[in-house]
Structure formats: structure tokens, C-alpha cells
Structure 1
Amino acid sequence: MKYKDYYAILGVERTAAQDDIKRAYRKLARKYHPDISKHADAEDRFKELGEAYEVLKDPEKRAAYDRMGTGWRAGQDFQPPPNWDEGFEFSGAGEQAGTDAGLNDFFEAMFRGERTAHARPSHTTSQDHHARVAIDIEDAYRGAQRTILLQLPTVDAHGHVSLQSRTLNVSIPKGVRAGQHLRLVGQGGTGVGGGPAGDLYLEISFREHPHFRVDGSDVLLDLPVAPWEAALGGQVTVPTPDGKVDMTVPMGSAGGRRLRLKGKGIPGKPPGDLYVILNIVLPPADSERAKAAYDTMRQAFDFDPRARLYG
């Protein structure tokens, strides 16, 4: 995906009010409308203007666009920063976009997906809100009470978009999975005409962990082992998000071997598994004694690690 500077396309500052964005779009849309413009690139420019306007006219999409950073250059290969949308609260109630290209397509997938997943009947006066929140993997093993910060895009009296913050105390249930939605009744948008408030749906994700990776309900761990532990086998202590357990390394294990600890993944019915991937680590030859040990190994083994390369 290529980055597009929507503000530059419309010729406005990033601090522009919503009315300024609308005026800029209308002026340029008249200039580059394919039916009346004599510019050779009028059709492409007109489509580009439409894409920029579809995002910037919507306060929620505009705030999401701004959250992804200002250091990007037009045409640069672009990926949203990790967890850029953590705590970003939105209703997804903006207009549907009229184009399907680039970043605009990305925003449509984000907002439309949430809106469709929890759509209420058309006659309701409640407005549901959505947000993505990141938790630690340990919270999924034990459950937890957490305070989360959410930021909701709002438009002030002068037409400027800003983020309104609020904090909520949330119960994280044991066994929650990435992608699961927690429903907070009555914590969404204010009801129309005095109706009840909508609900808030929190989509769960896991923060990056220095040791563990999550794959659905399974958890993966790269476990360093010494050469003699892999060759001779034995008992090793393995950390898990719920505490340490003992595991047997089979004799003759190779690097990369996967060992399963059944039921030690994320709790549930059924629970996931914890997969331990062996990573053989060589001790350093940083002393005369260590060098002598390596020399003894060299003489003891008739071993060529590159034999397969020679056919």
C-alpha cells in the first residue's frame, strides 16, 4: 500500500476545519471534473480528490488517518504502525465511501467491518461504539481487572477534529482470545431522542511479548537448550504465561523440534496447547577450559556438519 497525503491532495493544512476541507474539495472537484476540465490528468486527479475527501470529511476516519503518523511521504510504501488503533473509539456511523482504492479501502474495511459485525435493527435509536484494546497474554490465562484509556473523535464548535479521552474499568475474562469482542452494555454513544445509550464493543488483541507468540488458542515459545540437553535428553524447566512447568527433552532432539505441552495454551473448552520449539545454544569458548572442552569434542566425533552440501 502506498501512502497518500490527503491534506496535500486537497491543498489544506492538517489543522484545517471541516468546512475548510469541504470548500477545498468543491473548488478542486469543479476544476478537475472530467466533463469540463481540459487537464490531461483530470480523471485521475478527480478520483484522487474523491478518495481524500471521503476520508477527511469523516471526523472518525480523519482522526484515524492522523493517528498513523505525520512522517510519511507521498508514494512511500506504507504499513500502519503497530497498535496504531489501540484505544481508538469510533461509531462507524460515517457515510459509505464512493471509491475503493488505497488507504480509503483500508479505512472502509476497518469501519464497515465493525459496523456490520454488531449491526442493530434499523429502527433503534442507540449508537454502538467500537474500540480495539491490547492486553497481556497473562490476562487471558488468569482473567484481570484493567483500566483502559479510550479516545473518541469529536468536532468542536469551530469545526476542528480532536480526541476526547475517557477511562473505563474492564473485567478481562479468563480464556479470552485475540479477535474476541467484549460487550460493555450502555457504554456506547448517547441514545437519540432520549433513548438508551448504545453498547461498547472492545476487540481484544495481545501485546507483543518478549517470549511468547499466540496462534489462535495455542501459544508458542522458543526455548534455548544446551547441546548436551538436546543430545542426551533430560528434564528442563519451561516458563509459561501461568507459571513454570517441567518438561522432558527427548534424547537426540534437533534444533527446531516442536514439543507439545497439552492444555497449557490459552484456557478454554477445550484449552489450547503450548508448543515449545527447541533452540540449541552453544556455550562460548571464552576460557582455556572451554576451549579444551571443544577440542575434546572435535576429536571425539567423526562429524561433518556440511556433509549434505557435498552430495
Structure 2
Amino acid sequence: MAGDPYKELGVARNASADEVKKAFRKLAKDLHPDKNPGDKAAEERFKRVTAAFDLLGDKDKRAKFDRGEIDADGREQFRGFGGGGPGGFSGFGGAGGPGGRAGFENIDLDELFGMFGGQGRQRGARDFTPKGQDIRATLEISLEDSITGATRRIQFSDGRTLDVAIPKGAGDGQVIRLRGQGAPGRMGEAGDALIELKIAKHPLYRREGADLEMDLPISVPDAVLGGKVTVPTPEGRVSMTVPAGSNSGKVLRLKGRGGHAGGKRGDLLARLVVTLPEPQDEALTKFAEEWRTKRPYKP
């Protein structure tokens, strides 16, 4: 939105260079994005204040602006019909024309941005580049995708779609950075897209750190006599031996068939559940009746 750079900084038109600098320093600290994360209004105001100081912090540009020779974007004013006053003020990144950001020569960026993480000039210089904003999104993936890796497509609110490469062993909450896929910048350099991965709840497996837990139904004969059973894993079915005399609740471990955590692969823990046939088998019922009569026992 158009505005007056003096009003943006809150200084009078006859303010001294030191007063302009002091006003900018205070506003920049109060409005800096690191101090106001997620506050779009503060971010926009920060950009307008920055652009205002780009203009008023430079002695020559300020003088031309005051004489009506350039507008707030640093563009020369057309005065062929006797016009004169300063033009509109359009915000961040426009001031200075070919001169760029000369106004910041009078500001100690190390001192100004030292309060934001202690990164000094390196951080301050990066924050004043015309790079576009980063955008954030959440992508829900399956447990299998997180273990084996995959490529999944995500759609943003602006209608764009991107293919996201899910790395093998991806963790819940992991953020994937897609460089240059964020909002476009004023000077052409786009921000990044930050994609946070969320692993969906699985109908079969329960995650416990790097391990996966599951219930594995087995038949009465396999529980009594033992035998080979087929176990579904995130990477396909495998065969496992059930020991003879296995009760419900016994846990069998498949090494290296679990999830990932801390860079390590966990195990798959199969909890046995002895399951009766459906519908109920008459022969099994008769056998149970005779067993209860002749060989009673209490678990």
C-alpha cells in the first residue's frame, strides 16, 4: 500500500539523519520476523519500514525525494506539467534503483540483529535480501512409505503441485526442504517449500520408537503343536515359526523388520492371539467337553 516514508518511520520531514536512524533501529527490532514469527502484519510493516530507511537513510536520495525529483521507490518523477510532490511509497525492495541498498551503510547490522540468535551480520544480511517467503505444508505418508521411501505428490493452496521424494527411513515430523519452491521474490529469487512429514496411523502396526508391534492371530493347532505361520511386514510377508505350546500374549520378534528412529532400524514384535475357528467346529467343541471333564485345569 502506498504511504509516506517519513510517516512509516514516524519522524518529521526535518528530522536529522541520527533521528531517522534511531527511529529505524527501534522499529526494526520491534518488527523483525524472528521476534514476531507467523505475524504477517508485523512482517509487512517491517518491509515498509526497511524500504523507508533505504530511501531516507541515504543523504542524496532523501534530498531528491524532498525536492520531488524521485518518488518513494527511487523512480524519477515526470514533471513536464508542473507536478512536483513526492510519489507514493510502495514498500520493500524498491528504493534506490541501481543504487540498491546504499542506505544501510549508516547502520551497524551486527549490532542491530545481534539480538536475533547472535548471528550478527550474516543473519542480518540474509534477512534483508529480496528472497521470497518460505511456505510450509504438511504431508501425510504411510508407515510403509517412511520405511521403504517413496515419491508422493502434494498440492498447495495456490494450485501448484510438487512431487516430494520421501527418503528411506523418514521420521515422523521430519522436514524436507524444497529449495526455490516457495513464494516468488521481488527480484526473482523464490523462497523454499518446507514439507513436514506426518506418518499416518496404521491399521495393523503400533509404533514404539523404532519397533513396531502387532497382534498375530494363530490357530489352536499351531498354538498347541507349533508350526510355520505367515507374518505381514511393511516390506512384504515372511514366514515365522511358532513354538509348540504357545499361549496368547507370547511375543515373537522379527529382527530388523520394524521402523526407523535415531538412524537405526527396529524390530517387528508379533503378539500371538490364539483364535478359535468361526463358525464353531463341532469336533473341537466335543473335544473340549471331554477334556474339561477328564483333564480339568485352571490357567
Q: TM-score, normalised by structure 1?
A: 0.51
Q: CA deviation at 1:244?
A: 0.9
- Could you list the runs of 4 or more consecutive aligned residues of structure 1 that deviate by over 4 angstroms after TM superposition? none
Q: Map of 1:196-275 to 2, 5 A cutoff?
A: 196-266=189-259, 269-275=263-269
- Distance in 1 of aligned mates of 2:268 and 2:123: 41
Change (3 A) 1:222 1:286: closer
Counterpart in 1 of 2:286?
292
1:133 equivalent to 2:118? Answer no
Structure 2 counterpart of 1:204, one-letter code = L
Instruction: Specify the alignment match of 2:162 in structure 1.
Output: 168
The structural deviation recorded for 1:180 is: 1.3
Local SS of the residue matching 2:259 = coil
Distance 2:209 2:134 in 1: 27
CA distance in 2, matches of 1:176, 1:299: 56
Cα deviation for residue 137 of structure 1 reads 1.6
| Counterpart residue number, 1:75 | none
Q: Under a length normalisation based on structure 2, what TM-score does the superposition of the two structures give?
A: 0.52
Structure 1 CA distance for aligned equivalents of residues 149 and 273 of structure 2: 31
Instruction: Tell me the CA shift for residue 289 of structure 1.
Output: 2.9
Give the deviation of 1:238 after TM superposition: 0.5
What is residue 150 of structure 1 aligned with on the other side?
Answer: 156
Q: Please tell me whether Structure 1 or Structure 2 has the larger radius of gyration of its CA atoms.
A: 2
Partner of 1:36: none
CA apart distance, 1:267: 5.6
Give per-residue Cα distances to partners, 1:116-169, cap 9 Å, x unaligned: 9xxx94542442222211111221232212212233xxxxxxxxxxxx333211
Does the CA-based 8 Å contact 2:171-2:260 persist in structure 1? no
Q: Percent identity?
A: 42
> Counterpart amino acid of 2:211?
D
1: CA distance, partners of 2:276 / 2:282:
16
Displacement of 1:185 in angstroms is: 1.0
C-alpha change, 1:186 and 1:300, in structure 2 (3 Å) is: farther
Tell me the equivalent position of 2:111: none
How many residues end up aligned between the 2 structures? 180
Structure 1 pair 231/287, CA: closer, same or farther in 2 (3 Å)?
A: closer
Structure 2: which 5+ residue stretches go unaligned?
1-36, 43-116
SS in 1 for 2:273: strand
Q: Deviation per CA, 1:83-125, whole angstroms, max 9, x where unpaired?
A: xxxxxxxx935469xxxxxxxxxxxxxxxxxxx9xxx945424
Asked if structure 2 preserves the Cα contact closer than 8 Å seen for 1:174 and 1:267, the reply is no
Tell me, yes or no, if the aligned pair for 2:213 and 2:269 is still in contact at 8 Å. Answer: yes
Are 1:183 and 1:202, in contact at CA under 8 Å, matched by a contact in 2?
Answer: yes
- The one-letter amino acid paired with 1:92 is G
How much does 1:223 deviate?
0.8
Q: Distance in 2 between matches of 1:139 and 1:177?
A: 10
| CA apart distance, 1:264 | 0.8
Distance 2:279 2:290 in 1: 13
Cα distance change of structure 1 residues 236 and 95 upon mapping to structure 2, 3 Å threshold: farther
Q: Per chain length, whose mean CA-contact separation is higher, i.e. which structure has more relative contact order (CA < 8 Å, sep 6+)?
A: 1
Question: Counterparts of 1:288 and 1:140 in 2: how far apart (Å)?
Answer: 46
Q: Distance in 1 between matches of 2:171 and 2:232?
A: 20
Instruction: Provide the rounded CA distance (Å) in 2 between the counterparts of 1:257 and 1:286.
Output: 24
Q: Provide the C-alpha distance between the structure 1 equivalents of 2:294 and 2:164, rounded to a whole number of angstroms.
A: 61
